[in-house]
Structure 1
Amino acid sequence: MAEMEHYPNFQKDNYIHPKAAWDKLRMAGARRQNVYLYAATGYGKTELLHRYLRRRRHIWLSGEGLTVETLQEIALPAEATMVIDDLARVLDPAVRREIVSMLDQPGLWLVLAGRCPLPSWLTGPYVNGRLSVIPEEDLRLSEKEIAQLYLSWGVQLPRNLLEKRIIPLVEGNPLGARLLAVEMSRGSSYTEELMNDLTRKFYEYLNQAIYSEWPEEIREMMMQLSLLEHFTIQQAEEMTGRSDVNRLLAQAAEMGNLFSIKDGGYTLRPAVINSMKLRMETVCDRVRKNELLRRAGTICEKEGNIPRALKLYQDGQCEKEIHALLIDNARRYPGGGYYYELTPAYLALPEEEVRSSPDLIAARSMLYSLALNATESERWYAVLQEYAADHPDPEEHRLAESWLVYLDISLPHRGSTNLIEVLDEAARKIQTERLVMPEFSVTGGQPSLINGSKDFCDWTRDDQTMAFQLEKHVGEVLGPYSKGLVSIGLAESLFEKGGNIYKVLELANRGLMETMNGGKFELEFVGAALVARVYLVTGHPGDSVKTLEEIETRAQQRGARRVVRNVRAMQSRIKLWQGRVEDAVRWMENEPQNEIHFNVLERYCYNTFVRVYMAQQRYDKTAQILMRLRSYANMEKRPWLQMEGDLLESIIRYRTGNPLWKTELTQVLRRAESYHFVRLFCREGAALLPLLQELGCPEGVDEAYWQEVLGKTRAMAEAYPLYLSTNAPAALPGAVQLSERALQVLRLQDRGLTRSEIARQLQLSERSVKYQCEQAYHKLGTSNKVEALSAARKLNLL
């Protein structure tokens, strides 16, 4: 309690001023600027106004039952303060017009309070500057203030509980926080059951005290929409079966701060969602609730939110829809479908139900292969063979044969050793048996062909011959996935071998043009990622970033979620090369890491996590992830991942003083030389260079190859000296330290913006922009923009 005395907004009666709202109200009062204050129930609008006005003469009115006559009959002194609370209850247009006219009344300070964002009938006065707004965000208590409240109530809670459960639940609402405090102050100990019970009581309170006042048609609409949580007007119409949802949503918006609107999409706030779902439990029988869940699941499935749709179907006991959804997902390739997320649902299906569908049999085989269980995968492959051999229906037979061909090519655990022969046989079957192939992917959403759905390292040894053999059959077997495949594959092979950069770009851009002409977006991603890598190794990380930003935008437009994740992982690797470790850490903290369940489809992200942890010198975490990645690589016989994992392990051993790093690095060099992979090493630049210099050319490694690896690694280390550095950037000799504002200005100049355009974008004066430029030029040792941008690129500041 003594600690609380240090907080100026702490009151002895356990009231805490929400600082932002209090300061705005005080400023408005000093200027006698009319105010509209809004927030949902429990945020203390009324209490805040009472506290502020308790020593001031004022008139307090409620919007409920308010009439024009009441407003006109009040005798006001020369200077008066009037509060109209519960503004949402003012429904009479004449009363609303009278309130608007009062905003211009000389000597009157009018304070309006409601639950919803600015009502449409107050928009005019707000735009004209006759009214300021204090939003709910300003009334929400901060995490520190919520903790203060609990201490003031004599309740001590663990920080982890506050941060993980309490604060997200109450959303800065002191009323929600108070419910738990009351129980705890009565002697209750925190348990998960207590938390769930109090949460339910909070939502019951909202239903009884607030939502019970709504018209029935709005309660019914919000209850149904709570199953969607996020929706468009079209989806709301489909969910409710009403054509007037626009009108009802507009009416609901004036009754409370119930949802946010962005880009035409509506998002209900958590308290509304949960209280409306609680209402559904009490007013709907099982049949009606199941029908609403089925309807919501159908809408989510159309939108492409498959895991959410499955959950709704399961809650609604919609067995037919679950079966159809799992079959539809099985027809997508693993990188584009939801195999990992839907695995429990697939495995929960009775075996006899699975055996009745070739789609589900094939899905089981693929799932077990992705789960690194080759034995079970092959067992289900044999079940599919039996189905194809025994089924009398010609269409079912062809479907099963199509799936067998697909699995022959795609099962990850089978590798790529005999893939040319498999493709030959597949092309023959497709022609003779008129098979229609399921959706393929040769990349699995990864930014690589060599390390894509399968490992194609062995193909790079004689890439020209392999390309010639592939071109004979890929069109027949892979369909649209064949467009650009050979050109991009050759480009990547040449790049990894340290070949001519211009030839790499020529092949990559040729492949991109082929892919964009009726090909598949995943291959476009590989081509773009390769171009980004070229820009990086040639010292132009800014161009790499722009390339990845473009492909990320295209991926988002197509709903290619795995590509989006891997693009962002690549962007984070670029930040590591630039020494922007904090940015990379922020990315990693927002990504699911699946520390218990290993998802092989996320391996590129996992490898990026390893590098971020290395930059933080958290070698315990790197060891944990690397162990799983290397185990997967060994089990699936994936040379690229094996070499990459061993290389990173050797760097960690070097840094932790383990002498085995020399043996491990030597083995990687010998193995990589057989493919002539050079970029595998030089990508690790400044992190690897000290090891190579200390090791020297090891026995059994060709001197020319060694010199090429060393030279290209040194070039990357010089271009990106901060990559995975064990020193803080400020401690590096010659490091240029620019302010964040100066960096913003430089980066916008690099994009071609003028000083006036930069000033508008950053909301600065042109004089301030000029000052930032001069400061940056001085610290970079340059005299003009061109020289400054050139110097900044060399230092990887852009």
Structure 2
Amino acid sequence: MKKNIKSVSETYICPKKAGYKFRSARKFHTPLYLYGVTGIGKTALILNNVNMKKCSYYSATTILADEINIEKKTTEHTVVIDDLQSLADSSQKEAYFEKIKELLGREDIWLILISRCPFPRWLMPLRAKYIFVEIEEEDFLFSLDEQIAYIEQFGLELPHEQHQEAWSIGGGNPLSLFFYVMENCNLERTIKRQWDYLEVHVYDQWDLQLQEFFMDVSVVEEFTVQLAAMLTGRRDVEKLISQAEETGNFFEICGTNGIWRCRWPMRKSMQQRLRRRKTAEQIERLYYSAGLYYEINDQIPEALDMYEKYNDMDSISRLLTANARKNPSSGHYFELRRYYLELPDNIVENSPVLMAGLSLLQSMLMNIEESDRWYHALEKYAEEHTGSEKREARSRLLYLKIALPHTGSTGLIDIFKNADLLLRDRKAVLPEFSVTSNLPSLMNGGKDFCEWSKHDKELARGIGIPVAFVLGKYGKGLVPMALAESYLEKGQDIFEIFSLAEKGKMETDSGGKLEMFFVGVGLLAWLSVLNRDAEGAEKTLLSFRERARKDAPNLLPNIDAFLCRVYLYMGKDVADWMAQAPDESREFCTMDRFRYLTKVRIYIQRGQYQAAYCLIQQILYYAEMMKRTYIYMEATLLLAIVQYQMNQPAWKETLQECISRAEEYHFVRVLTREGPVLFQMLEKDKFIWQDAEYKNQVLTECRQMAEAYPFYLSEEGEEQIALSTNAVKILKLQAEGMASAAIAQSMKLSEATVKYHCRETYRKLGVKNKTAAIAEARRRKLI
């Protein structure tokens, strides 16, 4: 039997995008599939756009498939089947499948299907055979102008800011707007009414086990099957997820890389339901289970967030202690700084590991006085204790003498010799130590060893073996790669550098650490760049990246930054990297120094000289504070380039300072890597050189680099208009009429990332808006 329903509403406003798709489907007699959450306006669209006298409307919640019988019509007849998400039984789905298949085969019927979820799996065979027009949930959302028109027809006049606030929170959801009008535009009461509506009219209609599932997983922002199983204690999680996907459009992310994320309104309402229906002890147990899962999977920041929710100080202290046993390359010091800095002194003072961790963290944060305070507290602890506690404290002190970033490399030779004796006599155990800080460098890695480069061969012979022994696995391959890097920077024999780098890689592969292998890979990549083979450098780095992705993901950010540096030589687009680069205006993380130096170069290439200047000043402050000679030289050179591009006379003095410092160490490559830009600067004026041979080598290599990479750090290279894959996809979707939010969901990106790509595309194309960008891209045949 047919369901009798009312039709046109005087207050109905048809969302532009949904209306366009509806008219297109009707014009070409194309089957239509509508989906979205309760109250989004699916049924209203049909009621207000279809001649209900020539329409049969059925709801799958009340009518069986075999009850749908449509007589042969002489004119087109519309058939609407609503609430398909309510079909849970496989026999019901099979019956409806056959009925829908039958209706699709009739030329006298225009079929419209409505559900709360995207096209269900059980109907996929029909989707493959017939072309459907799909009106998605986002298509029903009102634009800001449509929202204003809807509200004003009820006689409600609001300031633009209030409209904007309501639209930002509700996203143009028609049901939210309906409640907003009912509550006389009170936003707080609107949100409560909507949650109450969902509670009674949606969630209470679900199967109980589905209700429990969503309440349990609401404590986390996103989940995997394993995490959901741990939270719910169920083995049939995948079955429940499948059931949820066919019940409604509840997921923002649906299994991408094994991850699910509930939509924000859904999760918030489920959290509210959880607090109403479960005891505090039951909720604490959920947070504990989530924290334990994250801890097992080494997701320490996420674990701490869960433990903090119910103030589990024992678990927080235990995790922070475990993290402090790691070196900064493998631990989460910077990410967890808030937790460390909030620890009461009385807890820290009873743990040598935490005292050492706080001293190291404060040094990383460039709080030297606080770092020294905890170092001296650890010294006092070692004096006042005996046995294993004293041994632990002494080991931590020895570690800090080597590892503290702000102490530089002065005196390290004697410290390494003493450490060698202590370790061999088993009077101390050195905790895990990283020489590189995940950077492709030993000379400019965890510490700055420029001074050692002056006596590289003598030091390699004299203390190479003791240092390698003290560093354990991190010492494998250290001596040959340290020599190779020193020779590379000094511009020495290329074949000897190759030989030493390969030897170091082989030694590292025999029981060493992949972080050290990265140094060897980096040396070979730089050799390729210097030999006019940037493509070879790219190939080397991409090959290593695959290995690191599986075995050392902590290296990926710096590998990607290195690739970005290579792409700057090649003239490739680096917008994708820039979109996920660290934001120095929000916070300066010393562990991201290699990425910041890469970002400066991109700023220069784009002509964003003020941004480059500001970031360079931060880097110079860090370099002086932490005694980073090499970084200071590199940043000074980049500063000279910025000043030169801005026509500031100070560039000559700045460049002279860099040349003098580099010449002191006979460092050639710190200058010639920037050869394409530096060569024209060196020709503009005369500079003071102490060594004619050094000067000639620098000038010769700069000329060669300028010839090999003419567009390096040059805005001229932008004329090629090379857009990233994502940028092209976004342009194509914009051309199809999609908004930023819809594009972000379609491409599984954040909306901020989409907007960033748009801004960069507009800049490259020399336009100011979307319409002009699409036109220009089509003219250039980019889309």
- TM category (shorter chain) comes to 0.7 to 0.9
Give 1:612's aligned residue.
602
Higher deviation after alignment, 131-140 or 518-527: 131-140
Instruction: Give CA-to-partner distance per residue, 1:346-372, whole Å, 9 cap, x none.
Output: 111111111111111111110111121
Instruction: Give CA-to-partner distance per residue, 1:29-77, whole Å, 9 cap, x none.
Output: 44544343322334432233334424772111122222245324x5453
Instruction: Give CA-to-partner distance per residue, 1:134-168, whole Å, 9 cap, x none.
Output: 263662659xx445544765666569x96xx8777
Preserved CA contact (<8 Å) 1:36 1:131: no
Give 2:753's aligned residue.
none
Give 2:668's aligned residue.
678
Give 1:749's aligned residue.
none
Q: What pairs with 1:372-451 in structure 2 (closer than 5 Å)?
A: 372-392=366-386, 394-433=387-426, 435-451=428-444
Give 1:139's aligned residue.
139
Give 2:648's aligned residue.
658
State the AA in 2 paired with 1:624.
C
**Within the alignment, does 1:339 sit opposite 2:337 as a pair?**
no
Higher deviation after alignment, 340-349 or 611-620: 611-620
Q: Distance in 1 between the 2:413 and 2:207 partners?
A: 68
**Within the alignment, does 1:261 sit opposite 2:255 as a pair?**
yes
Report the 3-state secondary structure (helix = DSSP H, G, I; strand = E; otherwise coil) of the residue aligned with 2:336.
Answer: helix
Residues 542 and 46 (structure 1 numbering): CA distance in 2 closer, same or farther, change over 3 Å?
A: farther
Report the 3-state secondary structure (helix = DSSP H, G, I; strand = E; otherwise coil) of the residue aligned with 2:80.
Answer: strand
Report the 3-state secondary structure (helix = DSSP H, G, I; strand = E; otherwise coil) of the residue aligned with 2:334.
Answer: helix
Q: What pairs with 1:63-142 in structure 2 (closer than 5 Å)?
A: 63-68=60-65, 70-72=67-69, 75=71, 77-78=73-74, 79-102=76-99, 103-105=101-103, 106=106, 107-127=108-128, 129-130=129-130, 132=132, 134=134, 136=136, 139=139, 141=141
Report the 3-state secondary structure (helix = DSSP H, G, I; strand = E; otherwise coil) of the residue aligned with 1:339.
Answer: coil
Report the 3-state secondary structure (helix = DSSP H, G, I; strand = E; otherwise coil) of the residue aligned with 1:341.
Answer: coil
Instruction: Give CA-to-partner distance per residue, 1:680-710, whole Å, 9 cap, x none.
Output: 11111232222111123x2343222112111
- Which of 718, 721, 742 in structure 1 is aligned with 2:710? 721
Q: What pairs with 1:469-484 in structure 2 (closer than 5 Å)?
A: 469-484=462-477
TM-score, with length taken from structure 1 = 0.82
Give 1:49's aligned residue.
46
State the AA in 1 paired with 2:513.
K
Higher deviation after alignment, 235-244 or 199-208: 199-208
**Within the alignment, does 1:243 sit opposite 2:239 as a pair?**
no
State the AA in 2 paired with 1:242.
R
Give 2:742's aligned residue.
none
Give 1:795's aligned residue.
none
**Within the alignment, does 1:15 sit opposite 2:13 as a pair?**
yes
Preserved CA contact (<8 Å) 1:39 1:139: no
Preserved CA contact (<8 Å) 2:35 2:115: yes
Q: Distance in 1 between the 2:613 and 2:229 partners?
A: 52
Alpha-carbon offset, residue 615 of structure 1: 2.0
Q: What pairs with 1:315-334 in structure 2 (closer than 5 Å)?
A: 315-334=309-328
Alpha-carbon offset, residue 531 of structure 1: 2.1
Alpha-carbon offset, residue 426 of structure 1: 1.0
Q: Distance in 2 between the 1:503 and 1:56 partners?
A: 88
- Which of 355, 358, 362 in structure 1 is aligned with 2:352? 358
State the AA in 2 paired with 1:575.
Y
State the AA in 1 paired with 2:268.
N
Alpha-carbon offset, residue 375 of structure 1: 2.4
Higher deviation after alignment, 145-154 or 585-594: 145-154
Q: What pairs with 1:586-625 in structure 2 (closer than 5 Å)?
A: 586-625=576-615
Alpha-carbon offset, residue 176 of structure 1: 4.7
Aligned residues: 707
Q: What pairs with 1:527-566 in structure 2 (closer than 5 Å)?
A: 527-558=520-551, 560-561=553-554, 563-566=555-558
Q: Distance in 2 between the 1:720 and 1:700 partners?
A: 26
Give 2:5's aligned residue.
none
Preserved CA contact (<8 Å) 1:226 1:277: yes
Report the 3-state secondary structure (helix = DSSP H, G, I; strand = E; otherwise coil) of the residue aligned with 2:102.
Answer: coil
Higher deviation after alignment, 712-721 or 325-334: 712-721
- Which of 628, 631, 634 in structure 2 is aligned with 1:641? 631
Report the 3-state secondary structure (helix = DSSP H, G, I; strand = E; otherwise coil) of the residue aligned with 2:219.
Answer: coil
Q: Distance in 1 between the 2:660 and 2:273 partners?
A: 67
Q: Distance in 1 between the 2:166 and 2:664 partners?
A: 57
Instruction: Give CA-to-partner distance per residue, 1:310-359, whole Å, 9 cap, x none.
Output: 11110121111101110111111112211111111111111111111111
Q: Distance in 2 between the 1:501 and 1:704 partners?
A: 17
Q: Distance in 1 between the 2:601 and 2:723 partners?
A: 26
**Within the alignment, does 1:707 sit opposite 2:700 as a pair?**
no
Give 1:751's aligned residue.
none
TM-score, with length taken from structure 2 = 0.83
Report the 3-state secondary structure (helix = DSSP H, G, I; strand = E; otherwise coil) of the residue aligned with 1:665.
Answer: helix
Alpha-carbon offset, residue 198 of structure 1: 5.6
Give 1:692's aligned residue.
682
Instruction: Give CA-to-partner distance per residue, 1:491-549, whole Å, 9 cap, x none.
Output: 22222122233332332222222222221121222222222222222222222223332
State the AA in 2 paired with 1:320.
D
Residues 565 and 146 (structure 1 numbering): CA distance in 2 closer, same or farther, change over 3 Å?
A: farther
Alpha-carbon offset, residue 481 of structure 1: 0.6
Q: Distance in 2 between the 1:368 and 1:264 partners?
A: 37
Give 1:573's aligned residue.
565
Q: Distance in 2 between the 1:430 and 1:353 partners?
A: 29
Preserved CA contact (<8 Å) 1:585 1:612: no
State the AA in 1 paired with 2:242.
A
**Within the alignment, does 1:367 sit opposite 2:368 as a pair?**
no
Give 1:300's aligned residue.
294
Residues 622 and 199 (structure 1 numbering): CA distance in 2 closer, same or farther, change over 3 Å?
A: farther
Alpha-carbon offset, residue 84 of structure 1: 1.0
Structure 2: segments with no counterpart, 5+ residues = 1-8, 153-157, 729-783
Give 1:283's aligned residue.
277
Q: Distance in 1 between the 2:531 and 2:167 partners?
A: 47
Residues 705 and 475 (structure 1 numbering): CA distance in 2 closer, same or farther, change over 3 Å?
A: closer
Report the 3-state secondary structure (helix = DSSP H, G, I; strand = E; otherwise coil) of the residue aligned with 1:674.
Answer: helix
Report the 3-state secondary structure (helix = DSSP H, G, I; strand = E; otherwise coil) of the residue aligned with 1:527.
Answer: helix
Structure 1: segments with no counterpart, 5+ residues = 1-10, 189-193, 731-735, 745-798
Preserved CA contact (<8 Å) 2:35 2:114: yes
Preserved CA contact (<8 Å) 2:437 2:445: yes
Preserved CA contact (<8 Å) 1:633 1:642: yes
Q: CA RMSD in A?
A: 3.1
Alpha-carbon offset, residue 476 of structure 1: 2.6
Preserved CA contact (<8 Å) 1:44 1:139: no
Residues 709 and 117 (structure 1 numbering): CA distance in 2 closer, same or farther, change over 3 Å?
A: same
Residues 575 and 169 (structure 1 numbering): CA distance in 2 closer, same or farther, change over 3 Å?
A: farther
State the AA in 2 paired with 1:515.
T
Q: Distance in 1 between the 2:718 and 2:361 partners?
A: 45
Alpha-carbon offset, residue 643 of structure 1: 0.9
Residues 437 and 18 (structure 1 numbering): CA distance in 2 closer, same or farther, change over 3 Å?
A: farther
Give 2:780's aligned residue.
none
Moved over 6 A (4+): 11-14, 165-168, 177-183, 736-741
State the AA in 1 paired with 2:63.
L
Preserved CA contact (<8 Å) 2:676 2:706: yes
Q: Distance in 2 between the 1:597 and 1:737 partners?
A: 32
State the AA in 2 paired with 1:315.
K
Give 2:201's aligned residue.
209
Preserved CA contact (<8 Å) 2:678 2:702: yes
State the AA in 2 paired with 1:58.
C
Alpha-carbon offset, residue 475 of structure 1: 3.6
Residues 92 and 347 (structure 1 numbering): CA distance in 2 closer, same or farther, change over 3 Å?
A: closer
Percent identity reads 35
